[in-house]
Amino acid sequence: MTTTTAPPAARTVGAAAWVPVGGALFVSAWGGNQFTPLLVMYKQHGLSGVVVDTLLFVYVFGIVPALLIGGPASDRWGRRPLMLPAPILAGLGSVALAMGADSVLLLSIGRLLSGVALGLAMAVGGSWVAELSRAAGTPIGVGARRATMCLTAGFGVGAAVAGVAAQWGPWPTVLPYMVTVALAAVSSATLWRVPETRFRDAERTTSLLADLTIPSALTARFLLVVAPVAPWVFGACAIAYAILPDLLSDHTSMPIALAAACCVIGLAAGFGIQSVGRRIDRPNSVRGMVVALVVLAAGLGMAIAAEATRSIPVALFAAAVLGCGYGMALIGGLLEVQRIAGPDDLGGLTAVFYALTYIGFGSPALLAWLAQRYPSLDYRQFFLFGLVMIVVGLVAVLVGGRVHRRAATNP
């Protein structure tokens, strides 16, 4: 038994109905990114670089299943039952992280729980915000912008608070996570009264397994325009606030604060550009995605300069440019998803998109392993390879735009 959108009479909601869901997105993103500026701290406590960068990536193993199952399941059973656990899991993950300073196992469990919370929030909460916004009469695209800005704000503020608490506060391995526990409790209490936007359809009897197939993910526009750009969403973030701070950690007396600053600057830039990204994007073109790739290429160029000069100001500027690329790729991808998705797979296609974005978070662990395995390689070469891949992605996007225009002209 699947779900359907509510009939028009049932979809009249208040203009602020989306706010508690946006708050849950904010808290889940906070919990997902609070660990990032603390990477340097855990390395100082004796964990190897490969282990710490792997812990950064571990939460992807929570995110991806939650995305790929949670999105279609919420299309089937409704948004609320799948979204309610998100802030609770974010709180539990933070408890495990607070208890696990000396335990890789507890840190891994905490990262997995944080990942599940974020995956549910991104796939289910993003769709719920979009539907609540549309039901309140806002223009198409406003919901996507609200969801991405809540996520980006959570990523940025969570990293900033965690970095400050760990660098200058007491109990650096505990205090940052306790803030998240308190926020998660508040968020959980506010979600219960949010109107549902998906309802069971008694006339449909397809199985959940059938619902997990997302036909729109195999369309030419998704494969050529969205898929090549998606991994760069969090690939850019990983470079900006995981790789660059680590490269410069020996050039500052406050490495945790530097990592937090890279997070905040990059995500603030991403947050800011999302407010204009919807204007840059055009429904019948690929301009938004092309702009995203061009900005990402500029950010990688600045990362190469930062690696060569070991200059903190250059690294901070690189983080800002990479953050703009992240923001454009995220809002552009979500707007494309809203155009491509069929009537019953918005949550599912959103999940597929986000799953692809998180491939990029594997880059710090992969590059740390390659640098350890092949000492002759350096990060400048890795960044140059990234530039080549951006060019390949740009070609794919332009081809996808041409295919779409041809199909629109000759239906």
Same-domain check for residues 117 and 261: no
Domain-ending residue, one of 193, 222, 244: 193
What are the tokens at 288?
């938004």
Same-domain check for residues 240 and 382: yes
User: Is 7 within the bounds of a domain?
Assistant: no
The number of folded domains in the chain is 2
CA 111 to chain CA mean position, Å = 15
User: Is 276 within the bounds of a domain?
Assistant: yes
pLDDT in tens, the chain (411 residues): 444 444 433 446 788 889 999 999 999 999 998 998 888 888 888 888 788 888 888 888 999 889 888 877 887 888 899 999 999 999 999 999 999 888 999 999 999 999 999 999 988 998 899 889 888 888 877 887 888 889 888 988 998 999 999 989 899 999 999 999 999 999 999 998 898 887 765 555 566 666 677 888 888 899 999 999 999 998 999 899 888 988 888 888 888 889 889 988 998 898 888 778 777 877 778 888 999 999 999 999 999 999 999 999 999 999 999 999 999 999 899 888 888 887 667 777 888 898 899 888 888 878 878 888 888 888 889 999 999 999 999 999 999 888 867 665 665
Q: Which amino acid, one-letter code, is at 173? A: T
Same-domain check for residues 189 and 223: no
Same-domain check for residues 57 and 97: yes
User: Is 171 within the bounds of a domain?
Assistant: yes
Same-domain check for residues 265 and 142: no
What are the tokens at 54?
């792997």
**Residue indicated by tokens 């000492």:** 375
Same-domain check for residues 156 and 263: no
Residue 377, classified by CB atoms within 10 Å of its CB into exposed (0-12), middle (13-18) or buried (19+), is middle
Same-domain check for residues 105 and 188: yes
Which whole-number Å values give the CA distances from 296 to 32, 233, 244, 256, in the listed order? Answer: 23, 9, 15, 25
Same-domain check for residues 154 and 234: no
Same-domain check for residues 321 and 253: yes
Same-domain check for residues 311 and 405: yes
User: Is 2 within the bounds of a domain?
Assistant: no
61, 266 contact by CB (below 8 A): no
Same-domain check for residues 178 and 232: no
**Distance, CA of 274 to CA of 268 (rounded, Å):** 10
Q: For residue 231, give its domain range.
A: 213-410
What are the tokens at 360?
């990029």
CA 136 to chain CA mean position, Å = 26
What are the tokens at 46?
């004796």
User: Is 1 within the bounds of a domain?
Assistant: no
User: Is 207 within the bounds of a domain?
Assistant: no
CA 330 to chain CA mean position, Å = 8
Which whole-number Å values give the CA distances from 216 to 113, 273, 330, 355, 389, in the listed order? Answer: 29, 28, 18, 15, 25
User: Is 169 within the bounds of a domain?
Assistant: yes
The CATH number given to whatever domain includes residue 106 is 1.20.1250.20
Neighbours of 321 (CB within 10 A): 23
Same-domain check for residues 153 and 43: yes
Q: Which amino acid, one-letter code, is at 169? A: G
End-to-end Cα spacing for the chain: 33
**Distance, CA of 241 to CA of 257 (rounded, Å):** 11
**Residue indicated by tokens 């959940």:** 208
User: Is 198 within the bounds of a domain?
Assistant: no
